[in-house]
Chains A and B, each alone.
Chain A
Amino acid sequence: MSETTAVSIRNLSKSFDGVEVLRDVDLVVKKGDVVTILGSSGSGKSTLLRCVNWLEQPDRGTITIAGQRIGVNDAGKPMSMRELAKVRARTGMVFQSFNLWPHLNVLHNVTEAPIHVLGKARSEAEAHAHELLEKVGMSHKTAAYPNTLSGGQKQRVAIARALAMRPEVMLFDEPTSALDPELVGEVLAVIKALSAEGYTMVIVTHEMTFARAVSDQVVFLDKGRIIESADPETFFTRPSTERVQKFLERNEG
């Protein structure tokens, strides 16, 4: 495996109750790249993303994060919860429904895992958190509790929370799908800024214009298979499959 690979997915398959949702998926994400995963709902894109940090267990296939295999340890046995937690700490995930912890204020949502997972000193974790909250434009709300924030603000805090672990890769699971239309822009702007800073990101989204602007690679999933994988220019102007052409036509305008 090359030094420049952030995530490598090989032959990934997964079924739910006998229905195959992922079939032999192969995907390599290079360090610093932004890969967006497109596809209609039910195509398996969220499941693929959730397999990367083992929130879903694939039936077959391997996933490595910066050279570290997830789910199976060096002895070839299924990982213990503790081993799994260690690998997960190297990924950051942003959920569709934000999933902030309501009993902690904004600052403590961000510092909780660095302190209690990475063992960072509170002062160090808070300094880093302030930096990240500044980056996502939430530094004025450090003492606020999640229930006082708008959806867009919650999602920006959730992004800062994931970044606080200094992850090898950021996973975005439809980060704007639960937002009111007028709040989508502020979240996409933050993600765009991160891509400019060289963060490695895998993004499941329905925002076509955004995907085109931000991606290094676009992947299209259909019935659990990757049927198209290309740079955004090629993908959006000269897709090679009819399925993607139709998908793009329907999502135009």
Chain B
Amino acid sequence: MNASAWSMLLEGAWVTLWISGVSIAIGVVAGLLLALVRLARIPIIDQILVLYISLARATPLVTLTLFIFLSAPNFGIQLDRNLAGILALTINTTAFNAEIWRSAFGNFSREQREAAMSMGMTPWVTFRRIMFPQLMITSLPGLVNEMSFLIKGSPAIAVIGIVDLTRVTNRISAVTYEPLPPILVACALYMAIIGCLVWLQRIAEHRANRLAE
């Protein structure tokens, strides 16, 4: 591989990283909000969210990406490729994250909540000061798991022409006729990205030990 192949690979890695990164950042927060709304059990809205979550979880990423990119013009929207890619990844990961947050809420200790109530904390203060700091740590393994699934599923966005870390290996081998080296480097880069996530997760687990009684 020559210098230009290397720089193409790094560019591809950057595309994968920033598009996944933006989707993950939005998806974690949006998932939390959805979980909170679902806890409130508002009729109709709750059913709509359940429908969204089951649809988003059942749709393959490639299909979802294609659908969003191709259907947008029908609604008079001219979607930028990257935006369509981010949208697809976000819709997918938000649904999974909402379920992760929701199960963490459901398992939260009633005793701790009662202690907070007995001290005069409102539900919002209880959430902000008592529940959320702990839920963040207990949910992290699940969230990080979902992040790594998302990154590994992100080559789906190549279907609408985004040149990500996987797609770029095709482009390189089309010139060099040597498919193996770029693929190997791409694998190493994926592992490096996911390795960072797992490392973060370990730090969180270390802190979580304190919560285990």
Q: Which positions in A face B, CB cutoff 8 Å?
A: 53, 55, 81-82, 85-93, 95, 97, 99-103, 112-113, 116-118, 145-147, 158, 161-162, 165, 171
Q: How far is the CA of A87 from the CA of B111 in the complex (A)?
A: 19
A103 and B136 alpha carbons, distance in the complex (Å): 11
CA–CA, A161 to B111, complex, Å?
Answer: 15
Q: Can you name the residue of chain B whose Cβ is closest to the Cβ of A115?
A: B129
- Bound: A103/B212 CA distance, A: 10
- Among candidates A82, A93, A103, A147, residue contacting B118 with C-beta atoms closer than 8 Å: A93
Whole-angstrom distance from the CB of B141 to the nearest CB of chain A? 16
Any chain A CB within 8 A of the CB of B122? yes
Closest to B113 in A: A99
* A102-B211, A147-B210 known; A113-B120 Cβ under 8 A: yes
A81–B129 Cα distance when bound, in Å, is: 17
A146:B115 contact, CB within 8 angstroms: no
Partner among B112, B115, B120, B123 whose Cβ is within 8 Å of the Cβ of A89: B120
A101-B112, A102-B134, A112-B129 known; A147+B119 contact, CB < 8 A: no
Q: Which residue of A92, A100, A117 has the most chain B CB atoms within 10 A of its CB atom?
A: A117
Q: Is B133 an interface residue (CB 8 A)?
A: yes
How many Å from the CB of A3 to the closest CB on chain B? 23
Known: A81-B123, A103-B210. 10 other contacts (CB 8 A): A53-B117, A88-B118, A93-B115, A93-B118, A99-B112, A103-B137, A112-B129, A113-B120, A116-B121, A118-B120
Interface centre among B120, B123, B210 (most CB of A within 10 A): B120
Q: Say which residue of B118, B137, B213 sits within 8 Å of A55 (CB atoms).
A: B118
Judge if B130 is at the interface, Cβ distance under 8 Å. Answer: yes
Are A101 and B122 interface neighbours, CB within 8 A? no
Bound state CA distance, A152 and B169, in angstroms? Answer: 63
Please tell me if the beta carbons of A146 and B213 are within 8 angstroms of each other in the complex: yes
- 5 A-B pairs within 8 Å (CB atoms) are namely A99-B114, A103-B130, A113-B120, A116-B129, A161-B119
